[in-house]
Amino acid sequence: QVQLVESGGGLVQAGGSLRLSCAASGSIRSIEAMGWYRQAPGKQRELVARISRDGTINYADSVKGRFTISRDNAKNTVYLQMNSLKPEDTAVYFCNGYINYNRYWGQGTQVTVSS
């Protein structure tokens, strides 16, 4: 079994920064991709950023230029550096991993941006 554990959420003022981390553990044979999704109240879960095994990175248009996804392959960890945060970035952020050709989700971490 594979587990994803997130950390780094919290409360920040608009214009501030936060860094999220997601560590994958368990019986890992291969990591095809890892990324971050978010879900705001009353809205659908949406992709924020994703990094594939070959290093391809995708960002939602709303976060381009402000968020940066990176990974540490040795630690099976993916990070999301979030700068210039806006109130509309407020959501529960979920780590997602396509690992061993199965999809896994973290438990979610709350990010709240005050105006």
Which pLDDT score is estimated for 103? 97
Using one digit for the tens of pLDDT, what is the confidence trace for 42-60? 999 999 999 999 999 999 9
Which pLDDT score is estimated for 54? 94
HSE (side-chain half, CA atoms, 13 Å) at 71: 24
Average pLDDT over residues 8-18: 97
Task: Give, in order, the Cα–Cα distances in Å from 55 to each of 30, 50, 72, 110.
Answer: 14, 9, 12, 27
Using one digit for the tens of pLDDT, what is the confidence trace for 63-105? 999 999 999 999 999 999 999 999 999 999 999 999 999 999 9
Which pLDDT score is estimated for 20? 98
Average pLDDT over residues 34-44: 97
Query: What is the C-alpha separation between 10 and 22, in angstroms, rounded?
Result: 15
Residue 12's pLDDT band (cuts 50, 70, 90): very high
Residue carrying the six token digits 């890892």: 34
